[in-house]
Structure 1
Amino acid sequence: MNAIPAEVVVMPADEGQAFCDFIDLPYRVRGGDPDWVPPLRIQQRDALDRIRNPFYRHAELRLFIAYRAGQPVGRIAAINNAVHNQTHGERTTQWGFFECENEKVAASALFAAVEDAAAGWGHDLLRGPFNPSVNDEIGLQIDAFDRPSFIMIPSNPAYYRPLVEAAGYSKTVDLYCFWIDAGTLSGELTRVGPATIARGNIRYRKLNKATLDRDAEKIWRVYNSAWEKNWLWVHATREEFLHLVKNLRQIADFDLAWVAENSDGEMVGISIAIPNINEAIMPIRDGRLLPLGWLRLLWGSRRGAIKGLRFLVMGVLEPWRGQGIDVALNYNQLQEAVRGGYTHAEMSQILETNTSMLNAATRMGGVRYKTHRMFEKALH
């Protein structure tokens, strides 16, 4: 076992009071930051639910919490994602859900617990953060700490990066977020978008609630196929994807969700944006929907109240790329966004090596303003 400093006690947090402390810890550590968007407790529990969350049908989760003088000061999760390791031929433990006070001793003790778990699984590499997988929230924020996060985008204080690096972790890759003024359509978008639509060989349509379940199956296939060559991508299982759709349909604005189909009715491209529900969640500082949090959420998420949107999923099947389909999809979305009263958008977490998506963000008038970083460490 790795040596853990005597003044810090790290315990499993998979059940009982330790699990409750695990859920509560972000509010203790970050509650005083006015730019922090507190996660809803129900969302945290869903992300960690080994029974209801289909991710855990192929992944093992271990939770750890650090105490000092009986008070929780940090938390972390160790994740053994069998599908990831099979797909990429690795023996990697992923870590995530990291929250900690500004204490190197506590942070090092937490990472030591994860490294012990990795050694027990026979792994030789650690990488993170994943909350809990590449299909969910990933990355550690390293700049723009005064800008509140968009939905399903992680955030953290500036001191987290030094804590992670002090534990021996170094950069794997950066992911960029772009800010877009929804009312400003760049020249290329206004030129290529309408011209592509006018060619008529592709049908563009909005999703709708009545047919969402049927369309979700097609979107799942495009989603996996369009992304499969990206860095460390792992296919979302059907159950994982439908679980995500179930959660998102409650907040969806179907004017912002578009697909492209060829003349045979095959779905060849998707671009789905969602309202930035974080704007409504932000006033619920304790993350509790009861007794009054749900009223704040309903009021804050009423139609027209939310001004931001996030481009959540974009992709075009490889044989159909280079024909402007992605531009046409984005053009339709931003036209609808302006009509719907949205004023700004975020295109989020684009890999620094993904030239095509970086170009797409620029075409939409996006300005890079925030970076998340993935870290890794080899076990010797």
Structure 2
Amino acid sequence: MDGNRDEIEIIPVNGLANFFAFCRLPRLIYGDQPGFAPPLDAERWTMFAHKLNPHFKLVESQAWLARKNGKLAGRISAQIYNEAYTPLGASRAQFGCLDAIDDDAVVAALIRAAENWLRQRGAAVVHGPFSPSIWSECGLLVQGFEAAPMVFMPWTPAYLVNSLERQGYTKARDLISYRYDVGEKDRKASPRIAERPEWRERLNIRALDLKNIRKEAEIIIDIFNDAWSENWGFVPFTLAEFMSSADALKMVMPPEGGFMIELDGVPQSFGIILPNLHEVTGDLGGRLFPFGLPRLISRIRNHSFVSGRLALFGIRRALHRKAAGGAVILAFIEEMRHRSKSSSFEHVEFGWVLEDNFGMRRPIELSGAKIDKIHRIYEKSLAA
């Protein structure tokens, strides 16, 4: 590896040209590496543009690009949450979007830029990567580099893990993603929990009402924040953040992809399964304009997706470790199996789940799902 620091320039992402470069950088440096699939530029713009993503109202942030010999070589971001949004058990100071060529000097220069910016704002400990939040894309990939790429799950090369650890970063938490292969047993399965006498009148499963998405969103956010509120790193997911992607959700989520589980007439759990858009965007090279958008819309409507991701799931805390909660989770799994009868999915990714969230991991593993990917959140003391 060539580590000539004199050739490396760190550039703050200020201005439209650098912002566009920041968004497209991963596909420029990772190219056709197995397991990597380029996200759409337009989707990245909505994720990282401060005016389009309400997340940035909760933080002070800055991003940087790295150039080596005049060529783009890496990127990173840093942020500090407002005190009202302190992550549970984790630092308000975070880094994200760490992507770079295989060069320790480039990674070191990017890390120094982020750390210095955070120190100037009083940070003593940093966690990351969060890109840009815990509800977006998290962690560096440490297992599953050649697994099937999945929508909204970050891909990073193995060398990046080693480079970051050489900068003094250590593991904080692992995030586990599971692969569930859908088989004939699922499509032939009949519901059992919902048909039991003690649950038949109490459990109700309904589709999400996308025509009244705001009303549904209020219920989803209430359940989701309640369900996740005791998990490490938790920051409340705001209604504004959910609604910022609601129109896209309505466009890409299949009719069988979203459902709510009610117990005694009260919503207690929900799930949202998204098709793996990488199946229809691979040949677009990340670009939607000028001709990619109508092509993409047509593909989403007509393509038979073979993979998808359980992107959002929640069950109220009051039901955790209780018989009613077990019934709701089993009903959720049975409902997914029931919906597979009208779906082309051959596998679904459940992810991610915190490594120590055994209450969620156990039923997933009992369903037959296997660990497919592991992403790691890192930490470092910034004390002098």
Q: By the TM > 0.5 criterion, same fold?
A: yes
Q: Secondary structure at the match of 2:86?
A: helix
5 Å matches for 1:141-156? 141-156=141-156
Q: Give the deviation of 1:292 after TM superposition.
A: 3.4
Answer whether contact 2:223 2:316 (CA < 8 A) is retained: yes
Shift of 1:81: 1.8
Match of 1:219 in 2: 220
> How many angstroms apart in 2 are the aligned matches of 1:347 and 1:57?
29
Helix, strand or coil: the match of 2:74? strand
- Cα offset for 1:121? 1.0
Q: 2:102 maps to what in 1?
A: 102
Between 195-204 and 269-278, report the one with greater CA deviation.
195-204
Deviation at 1:243, TM superposition (A): 1.7
Identity rate of aligned residues, in percent?
A: 26
Q: Give the aligned partner of residue 319 of structure 2.
A: 320
**Offset at residue 82 of structure 1 (A):** 1.7
The residue aligned with 2:116 is: 116
Question: Corresponding residue for 2:24?
Answer: 24
TM-score normalised by structure 2 residue count: 0.91
Partners of 1:36 and 1:91 lie apart in 2 by: 29
On the 8 A contact 1:186/1:363 being kept in 2, the answer is no
Kept after mapping to 1: 8 A contact 2:269/2:315: yes
Q: Give the number of equivalent residue pairs.
A: 375
Q: 1:374 to 1:159 in 2, by over 3 A?
A: same
Counterpart contact for 2:147–2:372, Cα < 8 Å: no
Query: Which residue number in structure 2 is paired with residue 210 of structure 1?
Result: 211
- Paired with 2:300 and 2:342, the residues of 1 have a C-alpha distance of 17
Residue by residue over 1:16-67, the C-alpha shift from the partner in whole angstroms, topping out at 9 and shown as x without a partner, is 4333332232122011325311011111111111112111111122011111
> Do the aligned partners of residues 92 and 125 (structure 1) sit closer, same or farther apart at CA in structure 2, a change above 3 Å counting?
farther
| Residues 156/338 of structure 1: CA separation in 2 closer, same or farther (3 Å cut) | farther
Show structure 2 runs of 5+ residues with no match. Answer: none
* CA distances 1:174-229 after superposition (whole Å, capped 9, x unpaired): 11111111224499996546548953212211113223222111111011111111
Per the alignment, residue 277 of structure 1 pairs with 277
One-letter identity of the residue aligned with 1:149:
P
Mean alpha-carbon deviation: is it higher for 12-21 or for 141-150?
12-21
2:362 to 345, 359, 380: 359
In structure 2, the CA distance between the partners of 1:255 and 1:269, relative to structure 1 (3 Å rule), is same
Q: 1:103 to 1:15 in 2, by over 3 A?
A: same
Structure 1 unaligned runs (5+)? Answer: none
In 2, Cα distance between equivalents of 1:310 and 1:36: 16
The reply to whether residue 377 of structure 1 matches residue 373 of structure 2 is no
The question of whether the paired residues in 2 share the 8 Å contact of 1:93 and 1:123 is answered with yes
CA contact (8 A) 1:84 1:234 kept: no
1:325 to partner: Cα distance: 0.4
User: Normalising by the residue count of structure 1, what TM-score does the alignment of the two structures yield?
Assistant: 0.91
Assess if the C-alpha contact under 8 Å between 1:23 and 1:41 holds in 2: yes
Question: C-alpha deviations, 1:89-125, integer Å up to 9, x for none?
Answer: 8654211111100000000000000000111111011
The change in CA–CA distance for 1:20 and 1:277 in structure 2 (over 3 A counts) is: closer
SS in structure 1 at match of 2:364: helix
Alignment correspondent of 1:251: 252
Letter in 2 for 1:368: I
Q: Does 1:64 align with 2:69?
A: no
Matched residue, 1:260 = 261
Cα deviations by residue, 1:229-269 (Å, 9 ceiling, x for unpaired): 11111111221122233332220113121112233x32111
Which deviates more, 189-198 or 275-284? 189-198
* Preserved contact between residue 271 and residue 314 of structure 2 (Cα < 8 Å): yes
Q: Which residue of 2 aligns with 1:168?
A: 168
Q: Shift of the alpha carbon at 1:305?
A: 1.8
The amino acid of 1:200's aligned partner reads: E
Whole-Å Cα distance in 2 between the matches of residues 295 and 197 of structure 1? 49
SS at match of 1:283: helix
Moved more, 101-110 or 135-144: 135-144
CA distance in 1 between counterparts of 2:120 and 2:248 reads 34
Q: Which moved more, 1:178-187 or 1:127-136?
A: 178-187
Once the 2 structures are TM-superposed, how far is the Cα of residue 88 of structure 1 from its aligned partner?
4.0
CA–CA distance in 1 between the matches of 2:272 and 2:101? Answer: 36
- Could you tell me which amino acid in structure 1 is paired with residue 105 of structure 2? V
Q: Pick one of 334, 341, 346 that aligns with 1:343.
A: 346
Amino acid at match of 1:43: E
